[in-house]
A = this chain, B = another copy of it.
Amino acid sequence: MTNIDLNVNKARIFCEKKGARFTTLREKVYALLLQQDGAIGAYELLDSLKLTESAAKPATVYRTLDFLLEFGLVHKLESTNAFVACHHFDCNHPVQFLICDSCGEVQEIQSLGLKDTLDKQAMSVGFKVAKQTIEAHGTCAACK
């Protein structure tokens, strides 16, 4: 059983627990994202999906992504309009990304300290944070 299959199974169980339906389509899209090295755009994802779901349309992908985003199975990179599978959807983590502009690798980090720093900075001016977007572009260790 591959690593991807393991993640997909974990996702299915996670969804069942939440009373959400992990349909074939959602599973396929999530699996495609897991296969991906880095992040992938919606239309690139659509092209991959079409290989097994020839009827897929943009709305198909975006609706499925909406579901996956809602349940935290996938994250969106706002700075690149791309999507990346999450491997730790079951541990309620803060999310930050390191995006290598050289090789495209996307590394997800979960720094509680970073999250708290932003929350506190905001709080100090009376701002209550609901959602953070933290993305760093630069050069990964392998590319240096």
Contact = CB atoms under 8 A, between A and B. Distances in A.
Given A127-B98, A127-B100, A121 B109 contact: yes
Interface residues of A, number: 33
A139 B130 contact: yes
Interface in A76-128: 78-79, 96, 98, 100-101, 107, 109, 111, 113-114, 117-118, 121-122, 125-128
Contact of A78 (B79, B101, B107, B109): B79
23 contacts: A78-B79, A96-B118, A98-B127, A100-B127, A107-B125, A107-B127, A109-B122, A111-B121, A114-B114, A114-B117, A114-B121, A117-B117, A122-B138, A126-B141, A127-B138, A127-B139, A127-B140, A128-B138, A128-B139, A129-B137, A129-B138, A130-B137, A130-B139
